[in-house]
Amino acid sequence: MPYWRCVALKFMPSIVMAGAGLLLMSLPMAAHHSFAAEYDSTKKIELKGVVTKFEWTNPHAHFYIDVTDPAGKVEHWNLELASPNMMQRNGWTRHSLKEGDAVVVVASRAKDGTWTGSADTIQKSDGTKLTFMAAPPPPDVK
C-alpha cells in the first residue's frame, strides 16, 4: 500500500469526526433550547387574551390563548414556557393556568412572525403574576 494511503487511513477517522463537528456547529439550530434562534427578545409584545389550553409537558411547557383584536378577529397564540422542573422551582404548578383564564402576557415574538412566542410574564385577572425566570434580586438595603 502506498504511504499516502496508510496516512489517509490512519487519520481518516479524526478528519471525519472533525468534519462532522464543524458541520454540526454550522447548522442553523432553531430550537426549543436556543432562544435566540427562534425568538426575538428585542421584540416584546403584550397580548390580552383567554387561555384555551395549558400543556404541562417536557421538554417545555406551552399554553395557548385566543386574542381578539378590535375588529373582532381572533388570533390563536401558542406561547412557550420552560420545563416543568424549572417552572415548579419558580412557584408554578400544573394548575397555574386553566382554560378560560383571562391573562395579559408579555412575550418575545417568534422571528418567523407566526402567532408564537416565548412568554416572559403572565398576569392573571386576579392579580397573580407568573414567570419562570429566577426571582428578581431583592432591592438594596440602605
Please report, as ranges, the residues that interact with other proteins according to CB under 8 A.
Answer: 1, 9-10, 13, 16-17, 20, 24, 27-34, 38, 56-59, 83-85, 88, 94
Q: How far is the CB of 136 from other proteins (least distance, A)?
A: 24
Between 94 and 124, name the residue whose CB sits nearer to other proteins: 94
Residue 42 belongs to what H/E stretch? Answer: strand 39-55
> How would DSSP label each residue in 20-40?
HHHHHHHS----SS-HHHHEE
Between 46 and 112, name the residue whose CB sits nearer to other proteins: 112
Question: Which residues share a beta bridge with 76?
Answer: 66
Between 57 and 68, name the residue whose CB sits nearer to other proteins: 57
Q: How far is the CB of 112 from other proteins (least distance, A)?
A: 11
Residue 67 belongs to what H/E stretch? Answer: strand 62-68
**Cβ burial 119-133 (10 Å sphere, 16+ → b, else e):** bbebbeeeeeebbbe
Q: How far is the CB of 73 from other proteins (least distance, A)?
A: 26
